[in-house]
Chains A and B, each alone.
Chain A
């Protein structure tokens, strides 16, 4: 079991926990992240700035994250590859030959390396999803994730009169971060109606609190929003943003359960910034390149949206491909504690850790709670099927290529363009630099595609690579830290929620 080489891609909550557990099981670990520092989406922040303004519950979470990341990064058997991107995974001739080869561009200037791991843990996370609406491409309209990163990481005040809109509990921390950065938040506008939210959350509210942090992270967000008298409006959506060269006002409207607009309920609000998020899209190109099977979201929208697919894993976080494990948001969106639990299980098993380890039971339980939470999240905040009703013919769908709604509809109705790839070439939606990461799910829904397959996530070049980098042969990886004596396995950390509990 010891001496196995485990490569972990992604150093967010899931990947970091995976590395930690794999090290505890005695493996040699290479931890790779394209960011400069570990933490992923969740800890994307300047800790100093954070500590300065908020010495509360979250700071404690940060400290425990910090402890873990020091433990992992400083471990003699861990190679930490910061600012390194996995740009391709290369499946071997037969799955029995082991997990795919991992092609990495490492550091600055970037060097090309190829790793041949004994086990591969994919923990590459998700990015936030934004549905288009007229004016969503105006300057001053941010994705919720980008707004939070700006507010937390760079302390940028995105505006003085800000509305946070979309769906899902993650709008709350975003609003909180904006408040902390000094923005005035006029409202949080949640498209899900009170009934859906209640159905999802109120039946077993303890699941919610245990998942969003045992110290009541979510409650603390709500409390903070309350302190700032920020109204939380349910059953409403931002259906338009207007302005001359920049967002100046938004139109919100009451929406039904399917997100169709209730006529006459429109309301205009003057704003100088708008932050929107409609859930998450998992980053599936690496799992797809590895050949992993996908599955529709648990309890996901019955409509079978192609946007609702995740990597299929078993209780040991194994994917359908031998030697390939998946953890965190690529297997379902359930928040950081669930991602940590999954990561710990994945790392421990990938390293060949004892399946009878006691900690696994605790981890497994917490992972299962996470899955239940994910299902409820999907139930409480499904994307309503009637959202295209917000669109106008000239609304831009693909921002890279400026493809309009009318163009997408035209091609969707064309019998010679039933094939997504052919339609893509015709409308150009998805051919630009983001490679359909943003507009892909939107276009698939507009085309009423029910294809939940790997197709839309097929990106053999997972990260842009310069021709000069590609043309050079790979260099041998820098020597891995090898233990002088075989490592003795300890136990995986059994507290997946450690970062927000004592």
Chain B
């Protein structure tokens, strides 16, 4: 038994997944969160677990690892807890369909899918008839479609609390309402974090503070370039079954590498168990400005209607949004911080943190115990230029230069 003391900063889905892995591995785990568990980004996004939106590369590998782990994690949960708790995860491996609606979109989608297939992703081109029987309400104006049977979904807050509850059963402790204000170093090593209720000592500190990870790192004395990227989602009133898979607009594929404007939206349409349909989502760089802009909601609605014109009469009853934690090179940050021994990071998952949480936690455990990692973890290392470039402040200026956005998000 390794009784290394680990403090995890942040009880979002990343912190919860790490707490679980490490507690099961025998670490002495304490989770600190300034609010309540899963209260921040994790309960303000969607729960897509996707392989479809990632081109070959390290993020796809992490997604594939995570996709393999999810059913294992749920099976383990089923043995240890009540059916309701597993049920609350709302795991649904319903598969995704990416639909192109323009000639350009089709030209980009098919080679993209071919490259994914070469990397081991199941991606099957669909003809129009197959598409009609899979999604009868889909627009007639489509030029190509690819089925990704391995795309799945969860209810993100339910998934995070289930992971966290499992961690607690395995001996981890949770302290909510504890904000990390600063660090205490001995020699060059981080030995404690400061909170309003006193210091908390440990051997290892894992920064899993989502979009606030940059701020937490700064408080601990090291810059880390994690930025917030606002996203909004629309929720309809409950409907009879209308959308059967996760359906996304493929037009992004051709747009990869183009300069990202201030507002981007891409259609992700999915139904939930309650019968509501979730329509995502937008991407804006507005710092931590949490205003929900009607014109952004309007853009999301317009994109969704391009895929499902027959939803025009359906009511939106709610909209919500959150801040994706992103790194300028769009890869998560996982591993030890070479600048400050004792500090680790597990953050920067942008629009894919729900899906990537279990793979991330596995890597953290393997790196921490010195086991050979399941996939090459070096692309996620902390000391890479995009991460250490750290902006001086957490909120970026509204007119910061646009950067290109390869899609690493929850949906294309």
Chain A residues engaging chain B, CB cutoff 8 angstroms: 88, 90-91, 103, 114, 401, 414-419, 421-422, 425-426, 428, 431-433, 435, 459-461, 464-468, 470-473
Contact = CB atoms under 8 A, between A and B. Distances in A.
Contact of B302 (A91, A401, A422, A471): A471
Contact of B174 (A401, A416, A426, A431): A416
A262 to B, nearest CB: 36
B256 interface: no
Sorted nearest first, the 6 A-B pairs with minimum C-beta distance are A419-B36, A468-B312, A460-B292, A419-B39, A418-B36, A464-B315
B237 A422 contact: no
Given A416-B164, A416-B174, A422-B38, 14 more contacts: A415-B176, A422-B37, A425-B155, A425-B158, A431-B318, A460-B319, A466-B313, A467-B304, A467-B311, A467-B314, A467-B315, A468-B313, A470-B298, A473-B298
A415 B301 CA distance: 37
A415 B174 contact: yes
A129 B315 CA distance: 25
15 contacts: A90-B291, A91-B291, A414-B165, A415-B176, A416-B168, A418-B37, A422-B43, A425-B43, A425-B155, A431-B274, A460-B319, A464-B237, A464-B316, A466-B315, A467-B279
B312 A467 contact: yes
A80 B78 CA distance: 59
B169 to A, nearest CB: 11
Residue from A90, A426, A473 having most chain B Cβ neighbours under 10 A: A426
B395 interface: no
A465 B316 contact: yes
B297 interface: yes
B36 A103 contact: no
A461 B318 contact: yes
Contacts of B305: 467-468, 471
B236 A425 contact: no
Interface in B288-338: 291-294, 297-298, 301-302, 304-305, 311-320
A419 B38 contact: yes
A422 B304 contact: no
B88 interface: yes
A466 B314 contact: yes
B87 to A, nearest CB: 10
Contacts of B101: none
Nearest to B293: A90
A467 B301 contact: yes
Interface string B145-178: 0000000000101101100110010000010100
Given A467-B301, A471-B298, A460 B312 contact: no
A467 B157 contact: no
A473 B297 CA distance: 11
B157 A421 contact: yes
Contacts of A401: 274
Given A419-B35, A426-B158, A467-B316, A433 B43 contact: no
Contacts of B304: 467, 471
B320 to A, nearest CB: 7
A357 to B, nearest CB: 36
A295 to B, nearest CB: 22
Contacts of A419: 35-39, 43
A25 B112 CA distance: 65
Contact of B312 (A417, A428, A432, A466): A466
B157 A425 contact: yes
A80 B176 CA distance: 50
A109 to B, nearest CB: 11
B38 A415 contact: no
A416 B38 contact: yes
Contact of B316 (A91, A103, A426, A470): A470
Given A422-B37, A425-B157, A433 B165 contact: no
Contacts of B158: 425-426
Interface string B199-235: 0000000000000000000000000000000000010
Contacts of B294: 88, 90, 103, 114
Nearest to B321: A460
Contacts of A428: 274
Contacts of A88: 292, 294, 297
A428 B158 CA distance: 11
Contacts of A91: 291
A416 B312 contact: no
B317 A433 contact: yes
B318 A435 contact: yes
Contacts of B312: 466-468, 471
Contacts of A426: 88, 157-158, 161
Contacts of A417: 36-37, 161
Contacts of A471: 298, 301-302, 304-305, 312
A91 B290 CA distance: 11
B310 to A, nearest CB: 10
A324 B165 CA distance: 44
Contacts of A459: 318
A418 B43 CA distance: 13
Contacts of A470: 234, 297-298, 301, 316
Contacts of A464: 237, 315-317
A459 B320 CA distance: 8
A417 B236 CA distance: 25
B328 to A, nearest CB: 25
A460 B319 CA distance: 6
Contacts of B315: 464-467
A421 B39 contact: yes
A432 to B, nearest CB: 8
